[in-house]
Amino acid sequence: MTGPASEARGSGRLALGFSAVGHFLFHYFAAMYFTIVLAIAKDWTASDYETLIALWTPASALIGLAALPAGRLADMWSAPGMLAIMFLGMGVATAAAGFAPDTVMLGVMLAAIGLFGAIYHPVGIPWLIKTSAGATGQKLAVNGIFGGLGAAAAGALTGVLIDLVGWRMAFMVPGTLCVVVGIALVWCIMRGRVVDGTAAAGEAVGGRDGRGRLAAFLALLFPMFAIGLIYNTTQTAMPKLFEENMLGWLGGDISRIGFAVGAVYTAGALMQLVGGRLADRYSLKLVYFLGWLLMAPLLLAMALFGEGALFLAAIGLVVVNTSALPAENMMLARFAPAKHQGLAFGIKFVLAFGAGPIGVLLIKYGREMTGDFSALLTGLAGLAAVAVLVVLLLPRDARARDAAAAGAPAE
């Protein structure tokens, strides 16, 4: 005999499952073009790398700009329903990109991937938080691992698919699988297997109510933008960065480059579990601050070194960047009013992914001016240093205040 508690647990498990799969597929689709473009540049000789990589700019912009209305629609309508639209739309657009005869259609399909992909973060993550019953940080970390593995697979698996069946099938195969997942979610919705969940109330920050939460939310805006710019820019640039600066290791081979990029994001994905556990046990502000503190020197190392040192610095950057995200998401959920969680996460991802097209343009014009990535990476290191100072302005969370009152470390 099943009761409401058992049904809620079942719905929560399905929410985690679909959210994790959605996170994997979003990051796979958001990153696979950066490897595919290397093959397209060799196939479409009339278009160079800089022209082809710029085709991702509208998609990157839509991932950010469409996040806010997507989150708001989820608040007003249905989070699982919005995710079903994401799976179906993103899958069809990705498969269709494999049929593109020229840069115009390719750009349109990439933009559609961005439009539907924009649904995931402002909908899937707050949905997971709302359906989570304890150990929220760890569940966010598991979800984050799937996102990181998606980014990793986008390099490794895409490189293999290109070598085996060509770049067009590298679009079609994952696109078809995404549609299948969307159909499965629609079935679960129709059978009542998944529900929206119950929003958790935002935490009073700094001993105050709504005004305290608003001030904390506003202070969090800059680091959320900066972490998005760093993540998206380095992810976009990494295959080309490795192609040019790891010739001794990789020899310019696309599949080797894909596996190297995949290894970087696999390491980052797995370390999110550590970040999630830290976020569950210690001060969220402290965990977030330590992640930011390490980013600037790692970006400088990527600007200065090549071969093995570059590879290790890239792993370190992705590890600390992604490990900080559970703490960031938990802070945002606590700062935001309960009835506006989707809206708050929508604002976050307008900033985080809206930074994506800025990163693409920085890569394009930076390379045209300097011929490499060193100036860009140095500039990102400076941005990280500024973010460290802003994070210091964030209020302490409840665990840190309670621990301070008790004279013990925050746990």
Task: Output the pLDDT for position 393.
Answer: 87
Tell me the C-alpha distance between 147 and 265, whole Å.
9
pLDDT band at 345 (very low <50, low <70, confident <90, very high): confident
230-279: per-residue pLDDT in tens? 988 998 889 889 888 888 787 778 878 888 888 888 888 788 788 888 88
pLDDT, one tens digit per residue, over 196-224 is 765 544 444 444 456 677 888 888 999 99
Please determine, for residue 128, whether its predicted confidence score (pLDDT) is greater than 50: yes
Q: Distance between CA 73 and CA 254 in Å, rounded?
A: 40
The string of DSSP codes covering 284-346 is: HHHHHHHHHHHHHHHHHHHHH--HHHHHHHHHHHHHHHHHTHHHHHHHHHHHS-GGGHHHHHH
Separation between Cα atoms, residue 152 and residue 307, nearest integer Å:
19
Average pLDDT of the segment spanning 356-368: 84
The vertex-334 CA angle with 330 and 339, nearest 5°, equals 115
CB atoms near residue 174 (< 10 Å):
24
Least confident residue range of 26-35, 67-76, 129-138, 224-233: 129-138
C-alpha 214: how far from its chain's center?
A: 24
Residues 377-392 have a mean pLDDT of: 94
Give dist(CA 87, CA 120) in Å, integer: 9
The pLDDT tens digits for 271-329 are 878 888 888 888 889 999 999 999 999 999 999 998 889 999 999 999 999 889 888 98
* Predicted TM-score (pTM) of this structure: 0.73
3-state secondary structure of 252: coil
Residue by residue, DSSP assigns 127-178 as: HHHHT--S-HHHHHHHHHHHHHHHHHHHHHHHHHHHHHH-HHHHHHHHHHHH
**What pLDDT sits at residue 326?**
85
pLDDT band at 10 (very low <50, low <70, confident <90, very high): low
Here the tokens at position 292 are: 């930011």
Q: What mean pLDDT, rounded, does the chain reach?
A: 84
Cα(66)–Cα(69) distance, integer angstroms = 6
Q: Specify the pLDDT at position 397.
A: 66
C-alpha dihedral, 303 to 307 to 309 to 314, nearest 10°: 60
Q: SS3 breakdown of the chain: % helix, strand, coil, rounded to 5? A: 85, 0, 15
Q: Which pLDDT tens digit goes with each residue over 289-301?
A: 999 999 999 999 9
Whether the per-residue pLDDT at 2 is higher than 90: the answer is no
Q: Is the pLDDT of residue 404 over 80?
A: no
Which tokens sit at 219? 């202070």
Topology of domain 4-406 in CATH is: Growth Hormone; Chain: A; (1.20.1250)
CA atoms within 13 A on the CB side of 318: 29
pLDDT score recorded for residue 398: 55
